[in-house]
Structure 1
């Protein structure tokens, strides 16, 4: 099993593997190009995003600055918007449904490290995927931690630290995040 396969399978992997180093460099160069491309050239920005991300739907807009680890592990549906300063550490897959909005300074982190200091000092890492449903809005400075799944129609309050998964139709907030309100979704 390659280090990339281990990484995507949620197993310990070596981040200094040559293939992974090349993939991260490619992502750094693409995000650098995206962040330097003027908003006057929106079609060029979309082309860069389409080349960077694993899959994209229609109507994708990302404000600069944007950063990610690989890009290829990010999958977004239609009508995706990420505001200024978004960071997605896509060591594992990160999937967003349709109509998702990310406010400024949102962090989405699949990467994690061993709790045991000896294991952590070995340099090996691991990751857990993140899945965000349709019609989700993640407020400014919110953090989504490894392994989290959010259902459809979830609103994450500003500054929330989401450490566990939540179902559909809820407003969550706090540290750690908890349900603050049930949202009545009219269909």
Structure 2
């Protein structure tokens, strides 16, 4: 099993793997170019997103700056908007449905590390250095017609149902069913969302 296969399966994997580092560097270069592209140059933005993302529907708008780990694990449906300064750590899949509205400074994480330092880094080498930190992942899935408020943080493994609103500044640590409005730290349902 390759390190990428382990990564996508949620197993401990080595972030320093050559294949993963190659994709990581490619994504960093592409996203740097995207963030520096003239605002009105939609053709160049489209070209970069086509090369960067795993897949996307029609009418995707991402306002720079935007940050990713690999890029190719991110999938958008149709009619999605990502506002400025969002960070998607796509060490596993981030799947976003149709008509998503993602406010500024939203962070979506799929990666996490063992809580025990010995498991994170392994034993020290003879020279005192450590190998790359061991990592695990879990996918994040976001349904249709979801609005993520500014500064919301989605933790690894969460699923957000359809027609859900997550309030600004919320820390999402668990799944939320369809047709709910939730906020807080930790995020919790405050009421049903009438559709």
TM-score bin (small chain): over 0.9
- Aligned residue in 1 for 2:89: 89
Indicate conservation of the 8 Å contact 1:46/1:61, yes or no.
no
2-structure distance, mates of 1:37, 1:62: 12
- C-alpha offsets along residues 21-77 of structure 1, whole Å, 9 cap, x if unaligned? 000001001000100001110121122112110000000110110000000000000
Q: TM-score, normalised by structure 1?
A: 0.97
- Aligned residue in 1 for 2:9: 9
Choose 34-43 or 93-102, whichever is displaced more: 34-43
Indicate conservation of the 8 Å contact 1:4/1:20, yes or no.
yes
Indicate conservation of the 8 Å contact 1:46/1:60, yes or no.
no
- C-alpha offsets along residues 97-124 of structure 1, whole Å, 9 cap, x if unaligned? 0000110000000010011221122321
Q: Which runs of 5+ in 1 are unaligned?
A: none
- Aligned residue in 2 for 1:140: 150
- C-alpha offsets along residues 135-156 of structure 1, whole Å, 9 cap, x if unaligned? 0000000000000000000101
Q: Which runs of 5+ in 2 are unaligned?
A: 123-132
Q: TM-score, normalised by structure 2?
A: 0.93
Indicate conservation of the 8 Å contact 1:112/1:126, yes or no.
yes
- Aligned residue in 1 for 2:26: 26
Matched, 1:131 2:141: yes
Give the root-mean-square deviation of aligned CA atoms.
Answer: 0.7
1-structure distance, mates of 2:97, 2:40: 27
Alignment of 1:31-70 (within 5 A): 31-70=31-70
Corresponding residue pairs, total: 185
Max Rg structure: 2
SS at match of 2:41: helix
SS at match of 1:28: helix
